[in-house]
A and B are shown apart, each in its own frame.
Chain A
């Protein structure tokens, strides 16, 4: 396992600071991280943040209530633009939901030490993002109370879901992804829950963490099965992560709408997902380490690595954009060509240019080490990229629908108050869950940090 691997020993790696600030012991890491949950009092900042986000969640509920009362007509959608913000937000959230499992699974398999201190809250982020995403496919339907028709249960109508529809694939992909991420996250949590149980002072905490930790007692046998299960999960989650956004991209590429019907979609959606995912991790990690003084654990090295990943995926996305145009013109398909022109010159071109600015031009700054190592810059950039990725989905979903086959049926789209309120509401929900998470559960995997300590303090010495 990770402990066995000798650290890759090369000049530039040595130049980088370690993934864990020196001088930490098993006890110190445990204390520092557990304290955030167990002893640290609720700060005014936390309360304010929670209050704000909570009110946004109330706004979400209000919007949903109104939606159920009146119908999706309260949104800006129409014929021909049947999908608007709801689907844009869905794809955006799902995309964000990709970083967590990816970090935990793929980086784990690739044995990247630096994942340890970020994987826990990245996974949490994934769960919350998927939760937000999950809201939209449900509420965007005209009759949400009938949405259970999408599940294959033996109805008295003797009729089943239609498995050729990408929407059904979504149902399975998203629910599977949610479940597996949850399991993955929980398995990772088990030892830490045990730690919290053992360090908890008051009875309530003891009981709570006691129940959650299932009586985990760090036995070598437990560890052994635990590790093989964890490794398997990682192995399973990796293809899953890739599949989920592929399936989401099928929603579009399977349809015949010009601007949707493209084979490049799966790879470039996945890249985009990772792109926005890492951006979101940064958006969360930077304030978090500041607020709870976790700079020792989430070091500059982490931030820089994530910046590099963003740069790489950003380039893939850029390639995707390019290929869309190339395909349109090279194939000479008049509908695709027309749509390509629409993106550049049509009524929504400003969105497209904004998208290029956010997703392609800005990230190029990441070529410079100075930028990569500048926390503030990274934070801003992460926000820019998140915006850009939202715009990308808007361009894909909306612009394509405004100009499809029949000129007589062309239309336009503009969001209403309720479109925005719903979106903002989910943002609130997401952040609120994050707030609860950092106070309720260890935001960093303690046991894995202890491994790091062991690994650092004894170098290779420890195993023969």
Chain B
């Protein structure tokens, strides 16, 4: 259905917010309603006011009036903002900002306020009901709307939970082929971008606020002027456009201005696929994989499980083939060749670390073995490894799959296409379609042309839609200087960022939850993007900007989308008017999925030009998007900044990743700091990296599994104008990136500069000290001994207990996590953070070991010989051991274990954590006095403590974000995973009202629903037919450290890998 009906304008929306009653956002704090008013103002206020003026104002006041005035002023979002500039937002950072000298001042303030609060009764709270209540809104019950999140050339269908008009949580859309109901960290975190207080809020011209109409006028005059030259000097620069409407809008515009050009630049999207397709088929095609059908998969440096279009769908299909029912079950087999350890590589059965440049050699060799005529020499180990792969691939003709990584050159892709055809995989494990991408030419080339034109003074009107070229364009383009040359530059962006500062016009871009649009998924399926909330600020969409230059300036995006689909729906089974509501409701437009095509191969592997032989001792620098902030677009997203990166477990920083061996030769040691320690702060050596005639200083990080002589430079950090959260974090790898070496560079120099840098690492220690924590085995071992998971430790029999067991006659909530499926992607961590109002604490606090994630993902390397119980050994990757070159990597999500014999409960002095009748380990925040005894006594260390006031209770936008079903925890209380008790209760209440038992899968925890690989299953363990009960009955099912006899309700299914029996290990 269409939420716009009740969200006509801000005023109404925000009244709804006020309407959200007692349970709403800021529980546990008095002035709820005032703050909600702030939110209202925040959306309207425009005037710029300066701090000095305010100071003057304040001087005139005195005494009680003074404080009152402050409160009034605090209602003004700009004053709020200014304050925040002075005292940064997050509690922790705020901590840093306030030095001890400021202490007395503070004391004074707090005392005065305490005085105010002390006298009299708490202020009256208000309820502001609707004036006309929209039919589908029942205050207190969330509504769910389907839409889609566009993400660099792809779109992920999502379902958004909305509380009285506030979107609060995003889930995957089961009906959408690119989501299949799951999501990833970016999708989960995108909701925070919507409420980011640092978003640009207005139209600006050279730094001055302008009105939208002013822009429209300017646009029209510009349009007419370029019209004269039929668009000569008119350029449009976009990222990859997956919106058919926008695509056609631009095309129409170009038709109107024949001489105008459309360029595009995606810093983190490889040209491999397009160029490869051109090389192989002479045309651009879109490749859709069907990993679910493949028994053997070979990834040539492709992280298809966690990046690139279709990642979620692929992860889901792949995981389903990792489902192991009983000893007779079968598993697919994954071979990965890659220079950089990736999520995909970590779940491989065989992983071969090869330098980026050697991947092509490997592919050629592979092609040769499969009789494609190409050839290349491989080193001993790699050669043996290759033989195993070839054997396996040939065995599984038609059911195998070779995936080339998008950062690999065209040749690798062409070879991959050829091989897949040769193996007869096309049509089964993969198929080709028309490209989803609107402008499928090389990124760098496209941008190079533009720059060339600019420097030749050919460009006088440039529209930049999204992206951030000033920050992320190859440094040899020197885009900033170029942009200044352009007389009229117009920039659409959600932030007033690096590029906006160099543009004449800045248009603030709406969040995808704020406006109408559409987008195509990885297989072409189109969805209508419908707004969940009317824009919080004066923001606009790309559609609006393009329209501004068309003959219909000011045409709403809604019309643009409707217009496009009225035409486009001609060939669909249902016309727009017939289908519209259904499209919106389902989140997909039926019949828009691209039909498979069969391009014919115009590629002869033998004719490939000989590749320059690899120089093994030359260091290679590999550029990759960062796992959490991607190409930098999420730099200002606190959730993603604080999300530990899957393999390094670093937060708030990127680092130059080096292999243990290289670290040893360069002697880049890590020093574990006493403050925080292994679970917090590591000092790492700073290195100067000189590359392509430019230089950057980066913190180094030793990462087991990085290919020899390879240095990985993650992109997306070192932003200078990202906003409060993202500015000046990490180092900017773009500085040493040039257009001719976008992904792999050599001839660089890396020299330690003798200094060190503190990195916030949430898990440094990587081995299990021989404890029964993460149990793994191979398929053979499993078939031989299905109960292998239980050898390392068993819980003592219940009969040993002197106490009589508590009975759980009703529901017994439990969780089973299949370690065979978990690939460490960390979507669950962010999902949990979004669902449960978990605060961001900032780098300093993470370095003190105080991050608040309710679910963490532990990363272990098996087969390593570092054993810290031996003298001197610290299990420290910076202590080189050969086993660290290519260790087997496993991930283990660790939420609260909800132990039946909970050690935490027994030691709590005030009954703040007790067991519910359904076996939940309840945490009662308002009873907690914060002794932290429970955390000390928790063997799994899953409890989190509010050491300071971590929650941001001032920023109005963040209040809108909060999930009203979950308490916002105050300072000094313990918290932890609750199995999403709010979801349990809501479902139970509905079931009880109908006097029926809760059905299996009716309750889905946040982590479970986000998980792309279906690794997490929650349910009623008492019901033998439930999914969770079946899993717990599996012989692989074990509980961590069973011998402690805490009897966790969260249990794990041992990981079983499927290495080739005849094959090379690793």
Contact = CB atoms under 8 A, between A and B. Distances in A.
Q: Touch between A and B in complex, CB under 8 Å?
A: yes
Given A79-B943, A143-B930, A408 B677 contact: no
Interface string A130-169: 0000000000111110110110000001011110111110
B674 A347 contact: yes
A120 to B, nearest CB: 35
Contact of B907 (A147, A165, A347, A413): A165
Interface string A46-90: 000000000000000000011001111110111111110000000
B894 interface: yes
Contact of B765 (A66, A165, A166, A407): A407
A341 interface: yes
Given A80-B935, A82-B933, A412 B949 contact: no
Interface stretch (B505-513, B528-536, B869-877, B1016-1024): B869-877
A378 to B, nearest CB: 35
B707 to A, nearest CB: 26
Best-surrounded residue of A70, A334, A335, A404 (most CB of chain B within 10 A): A70
Nearest to B109: A69
A82 B936 contact: yes
A15 to B, nearest CB: 51
Contacts of A149: 909-910, 927, 929
Contacts of B948: 70-71, 73-74
B931 A141 contact: yes
B872 A345 contact: yes
Say whether chain B's binding surface is mostly helix, strand, loop, or mixed: loop
Contacts of B903: 255-256
Interface in A383-418: 401-402, 404-414
B869 A341 contact: yes
Interface in A302-337: 334-335, 337
A439 to B, nearest CB: 33
Interface in B646-679: 672-679
A167 B935 CA distance: 14
Contact of B850 (A79, A334, A341): A79
Question: Chain B interface residue count: which class?
Answer: 35 or more
Interface string B1015-1042: 0000000000000000000000000110
Interface string A155-188: 0010111101111100100000000000000000
B103 A66 contact: yes
B673 to A, nearest CB: 7
A413 B678 CA distance: 10
A80 B940 CA distance: 10
B672 A167 contact: no
Contacts of A414: 673-675
Contacts of B845: 73
Nearest to A159: B911
A409 B903 CA distance: 17
Nearest to A149: B910
A164 to B, nearest CB: 5
Contact of A255 (B103, B771, B937, B970): B937
B973 interface: yes
B849 A255 contact: no
A145 to B, nearest CB: 9
Contact of B677 (A77, A251, A410): A410
B95 A143 contact: no
Contacts of B767: 407
Contact of A140 (B856, B931, B943, B945): B931
A216 interface: no
A37 interface: no
Contacts of A345: 871-872
Contacts of A167: 907, 909, 931, 933
A413 B763 CA distance: 15
A257 interface: yes
A157 B937 CA distance: 26
A343 to B, nearest CB: 12
Contact of A413 (B674, B872, B937): B674
A402 B677 contact: yes
B680 interface: yes
B860 A162 contact: no
A107 interface: no
Interface in B929-955: 929-933, 935-937, 939-941, 943-949
A230 interface: no
Contacts of A80: 679, 849, 935-936, 941
B770 interface: yes
Interface string B979-1002: 000000000000000000000000
B928 A159 contact: no
A78 B676 contact: yes
B1044 interface: yes
A435 interface: no
Contacts of A347: 672, 674, 677
A139 to B, nearest CB: 11
A87 to B, nearest CB: 9
B465 interface: no
Contacts of A226: none
A257 B934 CA distance: 11
Given A162-B909, A257-B937, A405-B940, A82 B945 contact: yes
B906 A164 contact: yes
Given A141-B930, A410-B678, A79 B849 contact: yes
Contacts of A406: 773, 858, 894, 939-941, 1040
Contacts of A338: 769, 869
A71 B932 CA distance: 13
A161 B911 CA distance: 6
Contact of B944 (A69, A79, A81): A79
Contacts of A160: 911
Interface string A213-239: 000000000000000000000000000
B677 A334 contact: no
A142 B675 contact: no
Contacts of B933: 82-83, 165, 167, 251, 255
A159 B927 contact: yes
A140 B931 CA distance: 7
Contact of A142 (B110, B763, B972): B972
A162 B929 contact: no
A143 B927 contact: no
A254 interface: yes
B203 to A, nearest CB: 41
Interface in B520-570: none
Contacts of A146: 929
B871 A147 contact: no
A171 B944 CA distance: 25
Contact of A72 (B100, B858, B972): B972
A166 B939 contact: no
Contacts of A70: 95, 948
A146 B972 CA distance: 10
Contact of A407 (B676, B768, B932): B768
Nearest to B892: A408
A410 B858 CA distance: 12
Contact of B928 (A73, A143, A255): A143
B49 interface: no
B107 interface: yes
B947 A77 contact: yes
Given A334-B770, A410-B765, 15 more contacts: A71-B947, A72-B972, A79-B945, A80-B679, A141-B929, A142-B973, A150-B910, A256-B1044, A338-B769, A347-B672, A405-B939, A406-B1040, A407-B875, A408-B894, A409-B941
What 5 A-B pairs come out closest when comparing CB atoms? A142-B930, A142-B972, A412-B677, A73-B947, A82-B932
13 contacts: A71-B972, A78-B680, A146-B929, A149-B910, A150-B929, A165-B933, A257-B937, A345-B872, A409-B941, A411-B849, A412-B672, A414-B673, A414-B674
Interface of A: 65-66, 69-74, 76-83, 140-144, 146-147, 149-150, 157, 159-162, 164-168, 171, 251, 254-257, 334-335, 337-338, 341, 345, 347, 401-402, 404-414
